[in-house]
Amino acid sequence: MQAEQTWRSFLGEIISNAREKQRLAQELGVKPITLTRWVEGDSTPRRDNLYRLVTVLPQQREHLIALLRKEKTFEDFSNDIGENTNNIIPAEFYTKVLSSLSSSIVSLRFWTTTQLIMQQALKQLDPERLGMAIWLVTCMPPSGTPPLVRSLRERIGQGTPPWGANLEQKGLFLGAESLAGNVVTLFNPRIIDDLDAEHTFPVSRGEHERSCAIYPLLYAGRIAGAFMVSSTQPNYFLPQARFSLVQAYADLTALAFEPEDFYEQDQIALSIMPEQEQQKSYFTQFRDIFTGVQRDAINNKTPLSSTQMEQRVWQVLEKQLLNSPLGIYGE
C-alpha cells in the first residue's frame, strides 16, 4: 500500500531534480542540505521559510499548502497572509516619525524620515517576508517651456527578498507609460490585483512584481509623487484594510516633503520615458556629469550641497532621456 503523501515527501520529489534543488535553496537563502533535512524530518522550517517556499513554487502552491495543513503543526497555515497583518499603524510610530521630523538636521530630514517610514511599512505590510518592494516615486522639478513636471523618479526604495534591501541603485525615471504616472496625473490611487491579467491601465512592470498598490502623495490639493508598493503575490492588496494601510503610510510619508515639492494638477504633463535597459545606458554618465556640476559650481562660486548637486545630475539625465529618440516628450 502506497504511503500517504506529506508536504515533506512532496518536497522530496521536487528537489530530486538537482537543478531545482539548487534554485530553491538560492531563492530561500538556505543551503541545499537544509532542504534535505526538511524532507527527512531532521528539522522543521520556520513559517517565514514556508511562506517563501509556497511563493517560489507557484505551480505546486495550492497542493503544497493543502499538504502543509494536514500536519498538526501547520493546521492553521493560511494562503491569506492578511490574517498576519495588523491594519493600523501603531500610535507610537507616529510619535517616532514626528520626533524624526523635528530633530533631524535639514539636509538629512527627508532621507532619515522616509527611511524610517519605509522600514516600518515593510515590516507591517510583509510580516511573512513573502516578497515586497516599496518605492517612493517623486516628481522631477518642472522643465521645458512652459515649465511642467515631465517625469517621475524612483527616489528611495526598500524591499524584502527576492528584492534587495536597498533598491535606490535600481531607481528609474517613470512617465506616462507607468502606473505611477497614471496615479500622479489623475491624483487617484490604483490597485492592480494581478499584473499577469492586467490590460486596462498603462503598466511598466518590474521583475518579480505580481500585484501592486500605489497611492498619491498629497498636500493641500497638490501632489509630490506616489507611494508605490509591489508584491510577489497576486491579489495581495485586495482586502480594503490592507490598501487603507498603504494609504496611511502614503499620508504619513507626505509629511517628510517641503511645501514646494508639491505641484498643482495642471503642472503635471508626463512624457513617455525609455525602458529600463535603455535608461541604464544613460546612467553610466552619472559620475562624469556630477564632476561637471561640481566644477561649474566652483567656477561660478555657487556653493551647492551634495544633495543639490545630485539633483542637478538627475535633471541633466532627465533632459537627455526626454530628448532622446527613445523618449516621447509630453505636451
Using the predicted structure, report yes or no on whether residue 330 has a pLDDT greater than 50: no
Distance CA 184, CA 217 (A): 8
pLDDT at 204: 63
Q: Per residue in 200-239, pLDDT tens?
A: 655 566 778 989 999 999 999 999 999 999 999 888 887 7
Judge: domain 85-267, CATH 3.20.20.80: no
pLDDT number for residue 80: 46
Cell numbers given for 208: 518579480
- pLDDT tens per residue across span 97-152: 999 999 999 889 999 999 999 999 999 999 888 899 999 999 999 998 899 999 99
pLDDT at 329: 47
What confidence score (pLDDT) does residue 249 get? Answer: 96
pLDDT at 82: 46
Give the CA angle between residues 285, 289, 291 to the nearest 5°. Answer: 125
Q: Please tell me the distance from the alpha carbon of residue 23 to that of residue 261, in angstroms, as a whole number.
A: 44
pLDDT tens, 262-308? 999 999 999 999 988 889 888 888 888 888 888 887 887 777 777 78
Alpha-carbon torsion (315, 318, 322, 323), positive or negative:
positive
pLDDT at residue number 331: 40
C-alpha cell at 318: 532627465
Higher pLDDT, 74 or 314: 314
Find all residues with CB under 8 Å of 253, minimum gap 6, and list them: 114, 117, 136, 217, 227
DSSP character string of 165-202 = SB-GGG--EE-TTSHHHHHHHHT--EEES-TTS--SS-
Burial of 197 (C-beta count, 10 Å sphere; 0-12/13-18/19+)? exposed
| pLDDT (tens digit per residue) in 144-188 | 889 999 999 999 999 999 998 888 888 899 999 899 999 999 999
d(CA 108, CA 127): 28
